Structure 1
């Protein structure tokens, strides 16, 4: 950015919606809404994680919102403007078609004067291919937003782990009930033998602590 500022999004595990397209688009949308300054020409670089970034939801979201004056300047670090995770995937499917062979392309260009059209290139010096992703006879609504996704929250076993193993390390006693509160779920009703990580990562040491 010309401002010389770099923004990082740190998402609490309790609020996360995973690493899919909905999360990526929600954070990009938030940045443009609250940190943008009315830019009319933008360049976005995503890493090459095809399952997360290089997909139709990303392309469609840029296509829908590439309008002049859409970005409104907001105060940085405005705590009253939280990041809202929305179901962009389902929302955009009603307006756009799926782009075939999207993983073969690395450069995408959209123009606000040509809604629905995406110029695709395999590399920076490749011959561009233009495709129309807009569904036939579709009028994009500019007054509606996708449904908000409700966070799944922390697994009961993780809540007990934080309360029993992490709470003591909170230097500020006032923060203990915010960061590591005691869960209302009875411990005897929690299954500590199953994989408690929502991303299916094994955590044997965590479970061992819980079982002791």
Structure 2
């Protein structure tokens, strides 16, 4: 009985924390609306020259595949077309969301470095020049809730880009927010539109809603527009202990080098963490995307090219020259070669096992035929 009461009490506390967190998010959006003063022009503003506070939310959407057609051809259902990731940064006070379209050729994963790099690019090129920065995100530790993100936000305060930064994380299981609305409009438009290239996806995003905007991370040929920087290696310092349990992190210019954490938005107790005593100088190095490997380009040219329009075939699924080969020193070559060897060995082993089983079955049948000869059955005599 006590265990049941404890479980019910924990569940009620969970719902209360989720409700308090969502109410606080709505309050932040309302405060940002009041601070705008009709200044909703997005662009590259000088630091701390805009509104007193701005509220942002960011998240990843499920990646899409292209080419895609509302009347989907049957054969493409079992294939893997070219991929395009989507990372959105939303300003619910306006409301506007900038969607970063990440082509497969310029994709660097979904770790901390890409998230920080896209968000940094957004603040530098689409921000409002706010003094106080308030952020909401989900609890994904690999992307948002990690020490690299916290150190980056502290770095913004230390370098004079913001006077005060606060990042809040919604309670797990209750993470639906404004980004998902814009993602829904975007996906709905793409499902109704025939798209065969990255530019056509960009146009579909712009047509989906007046709140949706599009920013290409890279061009169709693999050239990078929004670089991914190595923030994790650049921002050295002490890590925050028990980071995943906290739901609010605050960085202020009045407390240099210190991050203050709270268990929940409604919590009274706070904990201070000394991260560094000196600001890292300069900017992090650029991480080059790996691009499409040989096997992937061959697959796209062989299986996906036929589903593209004539205008986009050479951009999305270009033909691979016959004289092009994989460098023997490449890691991908060794992995693919080993994978082929393993496949061949397993296939040969299956054939041997199958052949041996067939022989055993034949020998067993022959032995049974030699040992046992069925006798003709006799009919029972009829009773008089």
TM-score (norm 1): 0.76
Q: Is the 8 A contact 1:157 1:192 kept in 2?
A: no
**Is 2:226 the counterpart of 1:83?**
yes
Structure 2 counterpart of 1:186: 325
Deviation at 1:54, TM superposition (A): 0.9
Q: Secondary structure at the match of 1:42?
A: strand
Describe the shift of the 1:10–1:56 C-alpha distance in structure 2 as closer, same or farther (beyond 3 A): same
**Superimposed CA distance per residue, residues 18-67 of structure 1 (whole angstroms, 9 cap, x where no aligned partner):** 11100110011011001001011111122111122211000000000126
Higher helix share: 2
CA–CA distance in structure 2, aligned partners of residues 67 and 5 of structure 1: 28
Aligned length: 183
**Superimposed CA distance per residue, residues 76-129 of structure 1 (whole angstroms, 9 cap, x where no aligned partner):** 868799311010000002xx2111221121110111332211110111122111
Structure 1 counterpart of 2:273: 131
- The within-5 A match list for 1:126-165 is 126=267, 127-134=269-276, 136=277, 138-141=278-281, 144-165=282-303
Structure 2 counterpart of 1:42: 133
Deviation at 1:131, TM superposition (A): 1.4
Q: Is the 8 A contact 2:101 2:214 kept in 1?
A: no
CA–CA distance in structure 1, aligned partners of residues 153 and 147 of structure 2: 10
Q: Is the 8 A contact 1:56 1:99 kept in 2?
A: yes
**Superimposed CA distance per residue, residues 106-158 of structure 1 (whole angstroms, 9 cap, x where no aligned partner):** 11011133221111011112211111111x4x2432xx210000111112211
Q: Secondary structure at the match of 1:45?
A: strand
CA–CA distance in structure 1, aligned partners of residues 102 and 294 of structure 2: 19
CA–CA distance in structure 2, aligned partners of residues 177 and 192 of structure 1: 28
5+ long unaligned stretches in structure 1: 196-212
